């Protein structure tokens, strides 16, 4: 018997398992690690004065009144999370989305209140018209067509109103052409040259935004978003979009969603010298939550594995609804 075993002995100069033998060794050779500072936590703020309302399709995620959002931000900061992405849910919708640049609108009031109470938190704000328009599209509509240049004009006003309220970054998520350059110029003219732009540069027309649209009550009332958001089949086009946004003045570029687009994140990181963000979107969050609720998956391990994969793919910054849960484990 002993002879057989010896004969079976391989003479290998490399045995990769030597580097996996103990926890200490595995830690030594770990290539990627998550930090709490990598996360941006999306927050939904509404005009109602009710207690936080849980989003049915996003367990653990709430719509907050402004005061509660401020409290939530303070809690995030004590967990070590340093950035939020703010989404305002307005009561007033109209065809022209004019509530989006009301200096006393829901998002503008939230920015001011959070800046006052939690001044060190980095506030990013969503810039797009979908929650503000009756039809639910990210831009103005005429005869069923999403107008580009007219929309950009409104986005500029919206961006300046966010900057005036105290936003650190505006985050245009609309995918209109030329909006980064126009917003940069509008911010500069208004004296907000220090306000940054986090551009949703490669944003795909994705099925994974469903729960977010529930949370925001912002699903499009007709058609889809395929004339402005990208075709999931395309990656070269993502590089062109990123190149344009950087040339127009974007400070950070984003790929969205994250999980079905890890290859795009990697290519953007390799092709450009700019901070790259990825959005671990609502549907990606809800899938894990739903499977975990059924006992089909280990929620914590799946969450950490997913976040790590986004970082490993090349994202410097991760927008994620898991930010708090992950920060508690780090
Ligand atoms: C709206 C916007 C969307 C998301 C962020 N900003 C939805 C959409 O484009 O329809 C999605 C976020 C998520 O699913 O978590 N411009």
Categorize the per-residue pLDDT at 4 as very low, low, confident or very high, splitting at 50, 70 and 90: low
Known active-site residue 226: no
pLDDT of residue 8: 84
Instruction: Give the distance (Å) from ligand 1 centre to CA of residue 214.
Output: 11
Question: CB-side exposure of 233: number of CA atoms within 13 Å?
Answer: 1
| CA 308-304-291 angle, 5° bins | 125
Q: Residue range 299-303: average pLDDT?
A: 98
- For the record, the structure tokens of 281 come out as 């979107």
Q: What are phi and psi of 200, to 5 degrees?
A: -75, 90
| DSSP notation for 120-174 | TSEEEEEE-STTTBTT--SS-EETTEE-SHHHHHHHHHHHHHHHHHT-SEEEE-S
Q: Is pLDDT of 303 > 70?
A: yes
**Angular region, 169: left φ>0, alpha ψ -120 to 50, beta rest:** beta
Catalytic residue among 115, 225, 256, 311: 256
Instruction: Give the distance (Å) from ligand 1 centre to CA of residue 118.
Output: 25
Domain-wise residue ranges, the chain: 34-329
Spell out the residues 6+ positions from residue 29 whose beta carbon is closer than 8 angstroms to its own: 19
- pTM to 2 decimals? 0.96
Please state at what angle helix 282-293 crosses helix 299-313, rounded to 10 degrees.
Answer: 150
Catalytic residue among 115, 203, 311, 324: 203
Instruction: Give the distance (Å) from ligand 1 centre to CA of residue 173.
Output: 7
Distance CA 96, CA 135 (A): 10
Three-state DSSP class for residue 54: strand
Segment 77-104, tens digit of pLDDT: 999 999 999 999 999 999 999 999 999 9
- For the record, the structure tokens of 120 come out as 């060190």
Across 48-52, 182-186, 299-303, 322-326, least confident range: 48-52
Q: Residue range 162-177: average pLDDT?
A: 98
Task: Say whether domain 34-329 belongs to CATH 3.20.20.70.
Answer: yes
- For the record, the structure tokens of 166 come out as 């105290």
pLDDT of residue 222: 93
12, 157, 237 from 265: Cα distances, Å: 36, 30, 13
Segment 260-300, tens digit of pLDDT: 999 999 999 999 999 999 999 999 999 999 999 999 999 99
Three-state DSSP class for residue 14: coil
Q: Which strand (E) or helix (H) includes residue 285?
A: helix 282-293
Categorize the per-residue pLDDT at 231 as very low, low, confident or very high, splitting at 50, 70 and 90: very high
Polymer length of the chain: 330
Segment 54-76, tens digit of pLDDT: 999 999 999 999 999 999 999 99
Residue ranges lining ligand 1, Cβ < 6 Å: 126, 128, 130, 138, 173-174, 209, 212-213, 225, 281-282
Known active-site residue 203: yes
């Amino acid at each position: 018997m002993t002879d057989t075993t010896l004969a079976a002995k391989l003479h290998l100069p490399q045995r990769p398992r030597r580097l996996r033998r103990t926890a200490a060794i595995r830690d030594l050779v770990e290539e990627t690690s998550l930090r709490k500072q990598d996360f941006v936590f999306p927050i939904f703020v509404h005009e109602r004065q009710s207690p936080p309302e849980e989003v049915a399709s996003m367990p653990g995620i709430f719509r907050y009144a402004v005061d509660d959002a401020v409290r939530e931000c303070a809690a995030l900061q004590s967990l070590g999370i340093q950035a939020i992405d703010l989404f305002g849910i307005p009561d007033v919708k109209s065809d022209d989305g004019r509530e989006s640049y009301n200096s006393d609108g829901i998002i503008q009031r939230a920015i001011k209140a959070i800046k006052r109470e939690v001044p060190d938190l980095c506030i990013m704000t969503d810039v797009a018209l979908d929650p503000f328009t009756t039809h639910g599209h990210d831009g103005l509509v005429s005869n069923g067509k999403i107008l580009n240049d007219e929309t950009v004009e409104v986005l500029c006003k919206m961006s300046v109103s966010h900057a005036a309220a105290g936003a650190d970054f505006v985050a245009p998520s609309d995918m209109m052409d030329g909006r980064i350059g126009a917003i940069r110029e509008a911010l500069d003219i208004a004296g907000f040259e220090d306000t940054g732009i986090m551009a949703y540069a490669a944003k795909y027309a994705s099925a994974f935004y469903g729960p977010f649209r529930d949370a925001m009550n912002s699903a499009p009332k007709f058609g889809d978003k395929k004339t402005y958001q990208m075709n999931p089949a395309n990656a070269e086009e993502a590089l062109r979009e990123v190149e344009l946004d950087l040339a127009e003045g974007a400070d950070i570029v984003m790929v969205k969603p994250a999980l079905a687009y890890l290859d795009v994140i990697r290519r953007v990181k390799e092709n450009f010298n700019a901070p790259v963000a990825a959005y671990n979107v609502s549907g990606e969050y809800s899938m894990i939550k739903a499977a975990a609720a059924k006992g089909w998956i280990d929620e914590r391990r799946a969450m950490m594995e997913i976040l790590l994969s986004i970082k490993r793919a090349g994202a410097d910054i991760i927008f994620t609804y898991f930010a708090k849960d992950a920060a508690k484990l780090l």
